[in-house]
């Protein structure tokens, strides 16, 4: 590596007020709010990939509000208050995304969301109706909508789904193009004066009374007054005692299907299975709950057992009797923990972190970025 010129050390590699690690949705929204609140302070993002290379560009593109069985499970885990707080963050986050970029630029479509209920899940439809009424009453305080969730069994046949006793429609959900959203956010923060260095992997950080020194693959020690760690599942490399572990999510994408009737974002089994149309193709992901230990991995590959399970679900439930090929398969790494809510934390006077957005980061990240920027 060549020694640095004075121009390099006094520009690209100069000390910054704020350095953010990771250019996924969380890092980008945090940069947006830091720069918005402090236009005269310098903000830099360091990203180890050539492009944002975490879950934000490898997910399913659900502008995800939540499904009944998932929210009921969240209530058991977190209690009513925290479940609703998370839901409100998603609701506000989705509004912010659409207001900032409009629908066209990020491929947003207000398709609505659906949840498939199997015959075994709710054998008594009256119990399901009671749950829906209870949830709608809670959600009304957030959305102002009388019935966010409603039974719409007529659409089971219209969509051509099999193995489904009931279908719950959710008016607040939509789908978007995650790559376009990430790129739009990146362009937005750069237009505000945020410097982004890619191909820069932070290996170690050291805090002192003055700020933080960052050691990376670059031939220079980068310095910041304050650092925000937004490296998701990888944050324990830098902050070891976080309650955080990796959870690989796997996806497959079919070939185009002529006359495909399915349109929208679909959830099944507490959100552990999810599928949507992408034009006239089906994007399907999940099944991690069947292989929890195996999928607790940083491996970036896909695995045969999960892909076979997804193909079975596709064949039996989503596209019964149709022929297609699988054109693409990929995986991404989520950050999860014992608690199903993000970690937004001050580590010391100079280091903060915002991580563990699990499978909800699209909608949550705007609010997480706003909160952590306010803390800093």
Ligand X SMILES: Cc1cc2nc3c(=O)[nH]c(=O)nc-3n(C[C@H](O)[C@H](O)[C@H](O)COP(=O)(O)OP(=O)(O)OC[C@H]3O[C@@H](n4cnc5c(N)ncnc54)[C@H](O)[C@@H]3O)c2cc1C
Q: Using CB under 6 A as the criterion, which residues of the chain lie in contact with ligand X when the complex forms?
A: 21-27, 46-49, 52-56, 58-62, 64, 201-202, 230-232, 234, 237, 249, 251, 285, 332-334, 357, 359-363, 365
Q: Which is nearer to ligand X, 129 or 245 (CB)?
A: 245
Q: How far apart are CA 193 and CA 176, in angstroms?
A: 26
Q: Which is nearer to ligand X, 137 or 203 (CB)?
A: 203
Report in angstroms how near the CB of residue 62 gets to ligand X at its nearest: 3
Q: Which is nearer to ligand X, 128 or 343 (CB)?
A: 343
Cα–Cα nearest to 178, from 234, 235, 108? 108
Chain centre distance of CA 299:
18
Report in angstroms how near the CB of residue 306 gets to ligand X at its nearest: 11
H and E: helices and strands count for the chain = 9, 18
Q: How far apart are CA 105 and CA 109, in angstroms?
A: 11
Q: Which is nearer to ligand X, 64 or 128 (CB)?
A: 64
Q: Which is nearer to ligand X, 91 or 234 (CB)?
A: 234
Instruction: Pinpoint the alpha helices (H) of 144-193.
Output: 154-159, 178-191
Report in angstroms how near the CB of residue 104 gets to ligand X at its nearest: 20
Report in angstroms how near the CB of residue 232 gets to ligand X at its nearest: 3
Q: Which is nearer to ligand X, 25 or 122 (CB)?
A: 25
Report in angstroms how near the CB of residue 134 gets to ligand X at its nearest: 24
Check: CB of residue 220 under 8 Å from CB of residue 9.
Answer: yes
Report in angstroms how near the CB of residue 263 gets to ligand X at its nearest: 16
Long-range residue pairs from 325-330, CB within 8 A, at least 24 positions apart, any chain: 325/254, 325/255, 326/252, 326/253, 326/254, 326/255, 327/253, 327/254, 327/255, 327/281, 328/252, 328/253, 329/250, 329/251, 329/252, 329/253, 329/302, 330/58, 330/250, 330/251, 330/302
Cβ atoms < 10 Å from Cβ of 74: 21
């Amino acid at each position: 590596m060549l020694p640095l010129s004075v121009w390099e050390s006094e520009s690209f590699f100069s000390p910054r007020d704020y350095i953010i690690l990771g250019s996924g949705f969380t890092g980008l929204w945090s940069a947006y709010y830091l720069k918005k609140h402090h236009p005269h302070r310098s903000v830099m993002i360091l990203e180890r990939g050539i492009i944002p290379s975490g879950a934000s560009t490898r997910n399913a593109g659900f502008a995800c509000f939540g499904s009944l069985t998932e929210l009921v499970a969240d209530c058991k885990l977190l209690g009513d208050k925290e479940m609703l707080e998370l839901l409100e963050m998603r609701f506000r986050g989705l509004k912010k995304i659409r207001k900032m970029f409009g629908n066209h630029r990020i491929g947003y479509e207000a398709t609505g969301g659906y949840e498939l209920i199997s015959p075994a899940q709710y054998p008594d439809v009256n119990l399901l109706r009671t749950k829906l009424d209870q949830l709608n009453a809670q959600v009304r305080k957030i959305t102002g909508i009388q019935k966010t969730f409603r039974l719409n069994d007529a659409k089971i046949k219209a969509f051509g789904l099999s193995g489904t006793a009931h279908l719950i429609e959710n008016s607040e959900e939509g789908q978007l193009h995650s790559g376009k959203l990430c790129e739009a956010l990146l362009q937005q923060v750069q237009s505000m004066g945020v410097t982004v260095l890619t191909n820069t992997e932070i290996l170690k950080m050291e805090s002192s009374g003055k700020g933080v020194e960052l050691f990376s693959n670059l031939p220079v020690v980068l310095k910041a007054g304050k650092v925000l760690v937004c490296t998701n599942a990888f944050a324990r490399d830098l902050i070891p005692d976080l309650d955080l572990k990796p959870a690989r999510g796997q996806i497959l994408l079919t070939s185009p299907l002529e006359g495909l009737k399915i349109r929208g974002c679909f959830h099944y089994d507490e959100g552990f299975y999810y599928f949507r149309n992408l034009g006239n193709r089906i994007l399907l992901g999940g099944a991690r709950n069947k292989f929890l230990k195996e999928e607790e991995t940083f491996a970036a590959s896909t695995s045969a057992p999960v892909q076979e399970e997804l193909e079975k679900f596709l064949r039996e439930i989503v596209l019964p009797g149709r022929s297609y090929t699988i054109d693409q398969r990929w995986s991404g790494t989520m950050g999860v923990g014992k608690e199903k809510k993000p970690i937004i934390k001050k580590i010391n006077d100079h280091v903060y972190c915002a991580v563990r957005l699990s499978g909800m980061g699209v909608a949550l990240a705007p609010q997480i970025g706003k909160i952590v920027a306010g803390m800093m």
